[in-house]
Amino acid sequence: MSVVVRRRHGVLVHAALLAAVLIVLVPFAWVIAAGFRTQISLLMGETLFEPTLASFREVLFSRSSDFALNFRNSLIIGTATTLACLVIATGAAWSLQRMAWPRFAVAGFLAWALLFHMLPPITLAGAWFSMVRSMHLENTLTAIILAHVTLNLPMALWLMGVFVRDVPEELIEAARLDGASTPVILWHVARPIIAPGLAATGILVFIFSWNEFAVALNLSIKQTATVPVAIAKYAQGYEIAYTQMAASAALSTLPAVLLLLVGQRAIVKGLTTGALK
Amino acid sequence: MPMMTRRTAMLGATGLLAAPRPGFAQTSLPPLSIVINNSPWFDGFRNLVDRYEKDTGNKVELDVNPFGGSLEKQRSSVRAAKGQFDVLIMNASWFTEMYFGGFLEAIAGIEPGFRLDPGIYTCDDTCFFDPVAKTMTAQGKLYSMPVNPNIPLLFYRGDLYRQKGLTVARTFAELEANAKALHHPPSIYGMAQRGARGPGSVSYDFYPYLFGYGGALFRDQKAGDYTVLLNNDKGHAALDYYMELLKTAGNPKAASFDQAEVLQAVATGKAAHAIAVIAAWPQVDDPGKSIVVDKMELAPPPSLPGLPTGPGLGHWLAGISKNVPDDHKRAAVAFFKWFQTAEAQIIYTQVGGTPVHKAAYAHPMSKERKYRWMQPMAEALPYAINPFRFPESSEVVAILELGLNRVVAGEVPAGPALDDMAGQILKLMQDKGYKTGKA
Amino acid sequence: MAAGRQGEAGWRWGLLTPALALMLGLGLLPILNLLAMSFFDVVWKDGQSRWNPVGVANYAAIPADPLFGAGITNTLVFALASVILQMGLAFFLALACSRIQWGRTLYRMAFILPLLVPGIVIGAIWKLFLNPDFGLLDQILGQFGVDPIDWLGDGQTALFSVVMVDVWHWTPFCFLLLLAGIEALPRDIYESAGIDGAGFWQELAWITLPLMAPTLAVTAVFRFIVAFKVFDEVYLLTGGGPGTATEVISFTLYQRFFTEDRAGFGAAMSIAVIFLVCLMLVVALGARSRLGRAA
pLDDT tens for C45-90 read 887 888 899 999 999 999 988 889 999 999 999 999 999 999 999 9
pLDDT at A125: 83
Using a CB-CB distance cutoff of 8 angstroms, which residues of chain A are in contact with residue B294?
none
Of B101, B395, B409, the CB nearest to C242: B409
Mean pLDDT of the region B29-56: 91
B329 lies within 8 A of chain C by CB: no
CA distance A69 to chain C (A): 17
Residue A136 CB-density burial (10 A; 0-12 exposed, 13-18 middle, 19+ buried): exposed
Which residue would you say has higher pLDDT here, B86 or A26? Answer: B86
Sheet holding B152-157, edge to edge: B273-277, B152-157, B296-299
The answer to whether the CB atoms of C242 and B255 lie below 8 A apart is yes
pLDDT at B3: 39
Strand partners, B218: B228
Structure ipTM: 0.81
Q: Is the pLDDT of residue C241 over 80?
A: no
Interface contacts (B, C; CB < 8 Å) = 76
Of A111, A146, A242, the CB nearest to C128: A242
The answer to whether the CB atoms of C244 and B394 lie below 8 A apart is no
A44 lies within 8 A of chain B by CB: yes
B255 touches C243 (CB < 8 A)? yes
Write out pLDDT tens, residues B252-293.
889 888 888 899 899 999 999 999 999 889 889 999 889 999
Using a CB-CB distance cutoff of 8 angstroms, which residues of chain A are in contact with residue B68?
236
How is residue A239 annotated by DSSP?
-
Of B43, B66, B259, the CB nearest to A233: B66
Cα distance between residue B428 and residue B395, in whole Å: 8
pLDDT at A8: 61
pLDDT at B12: 38
Nearest CA in chain A to B289: A40
B150 touches B356 (CB < 8 A)? no
B64 lies within 8 A of chain A by CB: yes
pLDDT at B40: 78
Nearest CA in chain C to A46: C134
Using a CB-CB distance cutoff of 8 angstroms, which residues of chain B are in contact with residue A238?
39-40, 259-260, 263, 277, 279-280
B266 lies within 8 A of chain A by CB: no
Mean pLDDT of the region C265-286: 87
Using a CB-CB distance cutoff of 8 angstroms, which residues of chain A are in contact with residue B64?
64, 222, 233
| pLDDT band (50, 70, 90) for residue B198 | confident
Using a CB-CB distance cutoff of 8 angstroms, which residues of chain B are in contact with residue C243?
197, 255, 402, 405-406, 409, 411
pLDDT at B327: 95
Write out pLDDT tens, residues B120-161.
999 999 999 999 998 999 999 999 999 999 999 999 999 999
Using a CB-CB distance cutoff of 8 angstroms, which residues of chain C are in contact with residue B434?
none
CA B236 to chain centre: 25
Using a CB-CB distance cutoff of 8 angstroms, which residues of chain B are in contact with residue A236?
37-38, 66-69
Nearest CA in chain B to A213: B69
The answer to whether the CB atoms of B256 and C261 lie below 8 A apart is no
Q: Is the pLDDT of residue B23 over 60?
A: no
CA distance C59 to chain A (A): 16
The answer to whether the CB atoms of C47 and B322 lie below 8 A apart is yes
CA distance C242 to chain B (A): 6
Most confident of B115-124, C46-55, C97-106, C215-224: B115-124
CA distance C144 to chain A (A): 16
Of C48, C66, C150, the CB nearest to B253: C150
The answer to whether the CB atoms of B67 and A237 lie below 8 A apart is yes
The answer to whether the CB atoms of B323 and C154 lie below 8 A apart is no
pLDDT at C225: 84
Nearest CA in chain A to B286: A40
pLDDT at B45: 94
Q: Which of A36, A37, A39, A40 to mutate to test the interface with B (most CBs of B within 10 A)?
A: A40
Cα distance between residue C65 and residue C73, in whole Å: 13
Query: Is pTM, for the whole model, over 0.80?
Result: yes
Question: In chain C, positions 243-282, which contact chain B (CB-CB < 8 Å)?
Answer: 243-244, 255, 258-262
pLDDT at C5: 43
Q: Which residues contact B144 (CB under 8 A, 6 or more apart)?
A: B90, B95, B104, B107, B126, B127, B317, B318, B319, B320
pLDDT at C240: 81
A243 touches A35 (CB < 8 A)? yes
Average pLDDT of the residues of chain C: 85
CA distance A40 to chain B (A): 4
The answer to whether the CB atoms of C121 and A253 lie below 8 A apart is yes
pLDDT at B49: 96
CA distance B395 to chain C (A): 6
Using a CB-CB distance cutoff of 8 angstroms, which residues of chain C are in contact with residue B103?
44, 47
Mean pLDDT of the region C127-144: 86
Positions in chain A short of pLDDT 50: 1-2, 277
Using a CB-CB distance cutoff of 8 angstroms, which residues of chain A are in contact with residue B34?
none
C128 lies within 8 A of chain B by CB: no
Cα distance between residue A256 and residue A66, in whole Å: 20
Mean pLDDT of the region B40-69: 89
Of B37, B277, B289, the CB nearest to A39: B289
Average pLDDT of the residues of chain B: 90
The answer to whether the CB atoms of A10 and C101 lie below 8 A apart is yes
pLDDT at C3: 36
Using a CB-CB distance cutoff of 8 angstroms, which residues of chain B are in contact with residue A44?
268, 291
The answer to whether the CB atoms of C45 and B196 lie below 8 A apart is no
Write out pLDDT tens, residues B315-358.
999 999 999 999 999 999 999 999 999 999 999 999 999 999 99
Of A2, A111, A249, the CB nearest to C194: A2
Using a CB-CB distance cutoff of 8 angstroms, which residues of chain A are in contact with residue C181?
272, 276
Mean pLDDT of the region C207-226: 85
| pLDDT band (50, 70, 90) for residue B22 | very low
Question: In chain B, positions 97-136, which contact chain C (CB-CB < 8 Å)?
Answer: 97, 100-103
The answer to whether the CB atoms of A43 and B264 lie below 8 A apart is yes
Neighbours of B16 (CB within 10 A): 10
Nearest CA in chain A to B50: A63
The answer to whether the CB atoms of B264 and A63 lie below 8 A apart is no
The answer to whether the CB atoms of B268 and A44 lie below 8 A apart is yes
Please state which of the ranges A21-30, B233-242, B415-424, C98-107 shows the lowest mean pLDDT. Answer: C98-107
A63 lies within 8 A of chain B by CB: yes
Of C44, C154, C260, the CB nearest to B395: C260
A222 lies within 8 A of chain B by CB: yes
pLDDT at C105: 80
The answer to whether the CB atoms of B100 and C45 lie below 8 A apart is yes
